Amino acid sequence: MAEFTMELDEDQRGVRDWLHGFAEDVMRPAAAEWDEREEFPWPVVQEAAKIGLYSLDFFAQQFLDPTGLGIPMTMEELFWGDAGLGLAIAGTGLAAVGVFANGTEEQIGTWVPQMYGDAAEVKVAAFCSSEPDAGSDVSAMRTRAVYDEAKDEWVLNGTKTWATNGGIAGVHVVVAVVDPALGARGHASFIVPPGTAGLSQGQKFKKHGIRASHTAEVVLDGVRVPGHCLLGGREKLEHRLARARERAKGERETGAGARNAAMATFEASRPAVGAQAVGIARAAYEVALEYAKDRVQFGRPIIDNQGVAFQLADMRTRIDAARLLVWRASWMATAGRPFTSAEGSMSKLFAGETAKTVTAQAMQILGGNGYTREYPVERMHRDAAIYTVFEGTSEIQRLVIARAVSGVGIR
Ligand SMILES: Cc1cc2nc3c(=O)[nH]c(=O)nc-3n(C[C@H](O)[C@H](O)[C@H](O)COP(=O)(O)OP(=O)(O)OC[C@H]3O[C@@H](n4cnc5c(N)ncnc54)[C@H](O)[C@@H]3O)c2cc1C
């Protein structure tokens, strides 16, 4: 396993420069238009597919990079280009990770390639966990999966919400309750193959930011999927449920609180989301730095004022600190080191808060221009706001970190 490094090697620098070129030449010029249209940017994703960027091959290669830096580097460059377009390209990855995390080799081989399609026919995928009454509290999930033994089919009923690519996806990965008595430990993930009857898109949300990314409700009304669509398979599920029942019994006896298993699963994907936030923050900082050098008031560039220059110094310091936390967590995940102090959550918390703060500072430095859509920082500020909400809110990250470092079941 590679040692922790803060330097990209020659190959990684080549990939980064290639991504940067796409971000600068294709994403940046298209960003404002798709933000205004608030539609999924199929042409941009198709462009990315044509050059092999939107593909399982490319993302798998970065994921397997032994230094752990492939994915954060990729996310930072794409989201430096634009966050809405970036999520249109990266959103399928969340569903893919859901299958990698829980699926068998055969399921991974069957479903993950279908999620991306190919350059001739681009596809996206969705990961559907959140529900109207189950956001941070995953254990409140209601979507039910019941096994129909006679037909070897699972029947899914419920309503999912906030699903990135929900309804426009080919493959949907759906988390559902198989044993209500076990709370979050009684959940399982299912593949809903493209075109399955009973799955439909509900409301499409109009959003504050990342407006090129599609976010919608997904309604599951008597959706029947073959038995082999249960991720991990029946035997593994029964084994896991039996262990959970034993553990639940033990906890009732000892009075210990049940831990939310889904939180631990998400912990591993959080550095990648943190890297997206770093990309947005860096983009806004760069615009503000150039603007502060150019804009003249009182006969000198505004950066001549410490009040402005010190803000830029703080912005840059925070961005670099956020990147270091993200790289540390990504390296730890790749090296198989456990997040004993919730290092994944730390990276997402700090990077998400950094993106929100830095984009607000950038708007302030641009004065009136910062408040208009003539300059990109207004959009970046709206985009950044989601980074303290999705993939676990900042409060939930603090909860995870506090529990990990204290060993106390803080609520
Ligand atoms: C654009 C977008 C895309 C998304 N994409 C997906 C997706 O692809 N798939 C998916 O499954 N989900 C997705 N989500 C859902 C997202 O993960 C949830 O919105 C998030 O987990 C928060 O849940 P909630 O919105 O129900 O907020 P709530 O859980 O209702 O929280 C509301 C507020 O209460 C705070 N709070 C709640 N509990 C506690 C506590 N114990 N201690 C302290 N504070 C607390 C929260 O931090 C927050 O500030 C997406 C959401 C958005 C907006």
Residues 176, 74 within the same domain: no
> What's the pLDDT score for residue 248?
81
The set of catalytic residues is 391
Is residue 254 included in any domain, yes or no? no
Place of tokens 């939107």: 54
For residue 386 and ligand 1, the question of a CB distance below 6 A is answered with yes
Residue the block writes with tokens 């703060």? 357
Estimate the crossing angle of helix 343-365 against helix 377-384, to 10 degrees: 150
Q: Looking at ligand 1, which residue's alpha carbon is closest to its atom 32?
A: 136
Domain match, 28 and 58 both: yes
Domain that holds residue 335: 261-406
Using CA positions, which residue lies closest to atom 29 of ligand 1? 136
Whether the CB of 130 sits within 6 Å of ligand 1: yes
Distance CA 361, CA 288 (A): 8
Would the CB of 390 count as within 6 Å of ligand 1?
yes
Domain annotation covers residue 255: no
pLDDT at 92: 97
pLDDT score for 50: 98
Identify whether residues 376 and 308 lie together within a single domain: yes
CATH number of the domain within which 116 lies: 1.10.540.10
Residues with pLDDT less than 70, the chain: 1, 251-268
**Residue 241: predicted pLDDT:** 95
Domain count, the chain: 3
Its pTM stands at 0.96
Query: In this predicted structure, what is the pLDDT of residue 6?
Result: 87
Q: Which residue has the tokens 């989301």?
A: 273
Q: What is the CATH number of the domain that holds 332?
A: 1.20.140.10
Q: Which of 189, 219, 249 is the last residue of a domain?
A: 249
CA 289/CA 286 separation, integer angstroms: 5
Assigned domain for 2 exists: no
Helix spans in 38-91 (H): 42-50, 56-63, 70-81, 83-90
Do residue 270 and residue 400 come from a single domain? Answer: yes
Pair (109, 129) in one structural domain: no
Same-domain pairing of 239 and 279: no
C-alpha to C-alpha distances, 147 to 177, 227, 243, 280, nearest whole angstrom: 11, 8, 20, 44
Amino acid 264: pLDDT: 46
Which of ligand 1's atoms lies nearest the C-alpha of 205? Answer: 1
pLDDT given at position 260: 42
Q: Tell me what pLDDT residue 268 has.
A: 66
Same domain membership, residue 281 and residue 308 = yes
pLDDT at 5: 87
Domain identity same for 245 and 298: no
Q: How far is the CA of 390 from the centre of ligand 1 (A)?
A: 6
CATH of the domain at 200: 2.40.110.10
- In this structure, are 270 and 285 located in the same domain? yes
Substitution candidate for ligand 1 out of 136, 141, 265, 353 with most atoms within 8 A of CB:
136
